[in-house]
Chains A and B, each alone.
Chain A
Amino acid sequence: DTEVTQTPKHLVMGMTNKKSLKCEQHMGHRAMYWYKQKAKKPPELMFVYSYEKLSINESVPSRFSPECPNSSLLNLHLHALQPEDSALYLCASSQDPGYTEAFFGQGTRLTVV
């Protein structure tokens, strides 16, 4: 199994809503990542989890809250988002944190209204 599975694929939420994005991998990878990608732009790194611990937070606003319940799961909790937060949110995993290829999920297309 070389897949990273993200749910939901699409999400529309209001600015007062609370929602969560989910990511799952069963490759035994020890690093997991959240990226944000706006149209026609490169993916921007948001968070890195290494061995289930948050190792990098790229100065992401607190309305985005990551969580790693176990080595296979990664969540991104969303609260009080702004319309400019609308984007494709990509989850990725790699065998180790850095220096190895990253496997990406299909992404969640988020629209904030």
Chain B
Amino acid sequence: GQQVMQIPQYQHVQEGEDFTTYCNSSTTLSNIQWYKQRPGGHPVFLIQLVKSGEVKKQKRLTFQFGEAKKNSSLHITATQTTDVGTYFCAGPRGTGNQFYFGTGTSLTVIP
């Protein structure tokens, strides 16, 4: 069935470096959400993208939805130690409206 894959699985960066995670779907997505989960914590909603080619920014975070609505990316500029965690994209599967999580990218920021 439809799966949402993320790359890379793990990423270690020096504080101040940029970071990008990519989310790829085998089928067209009606929309996509992004969540962050800190170590030992629970997922926290970051954003939802709906339109083809949509770009949204939240301070140092930039989210993009691909033109074909099959991929999405999250870019963090000048990472900080507070950015540590696992970033998940989540998209609907099949004809349902429920969101299923991608495989996630675990970000480590080295001070």
Enumerate chain A interface residues (CB-CB to B < 8 A).
Answer: 33, 40-45, 48, 56, 90, 92, 97-107
Contact = CB atoms under 8 A, between A and B. Distances in A.
Contacts, number: 49
B27 interface: no
Contact of B103 (A42, A98, A102, A107): A42
Interface residues of A, dominant DSSP = loop
Nearest to B44: A104
Q: Which 4 A-B pairs have the closest CB atoms?
A: A98-B97, A42-B101, A101-B45, A104-B42
Q: Please tell me the size bucket of the interface on B.
A: 20 to 34
Contacts of B97: 97-99
Interface of B: 30-31, 33, 41-45, 48, 88, 92, 96-104, 106
A101 B48 contact: yes
